[in-house]
Amino acid sequence: MTSTPNSVLNETPREINSLTHLTELERDELLSSVTETEREYLKKEWSLWARDNQLPPPKDDWVYWLIQAGRGFGKTRTGAEWVRDQVENKGVKRVALIAPTAADVRDVMVNGESGIIGCSRDEFLPKYEPSKRRIVWPNGATGMMYSAEESERLRGPQHEKAWCDELAAWADEGTWDMLQFGMRLGKPTKRHHDHPETDDVHESNQETSRAGDHTWLDARQQEEPS
């Protein structure tokens, strides 16, 4: 019988709400005290492993989430896990996935070691459909894949959320503008790289960050009707 997420978490000591706060010995002891099924579940439970600056701001009153950090921060994993959470737990059905090139979307954001497929549980694994440039989750949600070199492909499609990787490296400046026109569904959200011209930014910083290696996770919340 497969353990459900709730049963695994309920069996985990209450004081252990993040494995990053444990010593290596304490972490090993915890993982050795649970079943193989529970161990595999815990490995995919991002809220237990993520550092505080890898988790979205706790409140919903923010516009952009900027992760400004150097190599090794875990920017790709953070973005992939955020997308996964939106689809699995927040009811999001349409996500735009945009990187400087089509290869970057495919090899980093989707199929990379820290990409969406690599982070997903077997029971909720999205199907990669290369001919349609998309991934499809078991609940019907879709992640549409775009190259920032082809802004016109964003003319028409609509999305609720978007993960925009390496924004500063986008060759076609019109790609960002085209994306804005399509963020009409639900409460749109995005992710990208560079520094925004806005004050509505929540930043997660790392001391080793350096120019040219910036990532933004940009979550736009639409204004509620008055």
pLDDT the model gives residue 62: 65
Q: Which CATH number does the domain housing residue 104 bear?
A: 3.40.50.300
Do 82 and 181 belong to one domain? yes
Do 99 and 182 belong to one domain? yes
Residue 117 lies in a domain: yes
**Closest listed residue to residue 202, CA positions, set 38, 62, 11, 32:** 62
Do 32 and 139 belong to one domain? no
Contact status, residue 22 vs residue 167, Cβ threshold 8 Å: no
pLDDT the model gives residue 182: 85
Do 184 and 206 belong to one domain? yes
The dihedral formed by the CA atoms of 218, 68, 47 and 38, expressed in degrees to the nearest 10: 120
Band the pLDDT of 218: cuts 50, 70, 90: very low
pLDDT the model gives residue 22: 74
Do 27 and 79 belong to one domain? no
pLDDT the model gives residue 185: 77
Do 89 and 184 belong to one domain? yes
Do 25 and 123 belong to one domain? no
Do 14 and 97 belong to one domain? no
pLDDT the model gives residue 49: 81
Residue 107 lies in a domain: yes
d(CA 12, CA 119): 21
Do 138 and 200 belong to one domain? yes
Q: Is the pLDDT of residue 217 over 50?
A: no
Q: Is the pLDDT of residue 216 over 50?
A: no
Do 153 and 196 belong to one domain? yes
Q: pLDDT tens digit string along 114-141?
A: 999 999 998 899 999 999 999 999 999 9
pLDDT the model gives residue 108: 95
Please tell me which residue, 24 or 3, carries the higher pLDDT value: 24
Residue 209 lies in a domain: yes
Band the pLDDT of 70: cuts 50, 70, 90: confident
State the average pLDDT over residues 106-117. Answer: 95
Residue 17 corresponds to which tokens in the numbers above? 């709400």
**Number of domains observed in the structure of the chain:** 2
Residue 98 lies in a domain: yes
pLDDT the model gives residue 224: 40
pLDDT the model gives residue 17: 58
Going by the DSSP 8-state scheme, the letter that residue 146 receives in this structure is E
Identify the domain containing residue 18 by its residue range: 5-49
Residue 224 lies in a domain: no
Do 119 and 180 belong to one domain? yes
Q: Is the pLDDT of residue 213 over 60?
A: no
List the Cα angle 112/190/47 in 5-degree steps: 60
Neighbours of 154 (CB within 10 A): 24
Do 117 and 29 belong to one domain? no
Going by the DSSP 8-state scheme, the letter that residue 73 receives in this structure is S
Residue 37 lies in a domain: yes
Residue 192 lies in a domain: yes
Residue 223 lies in a domain: no
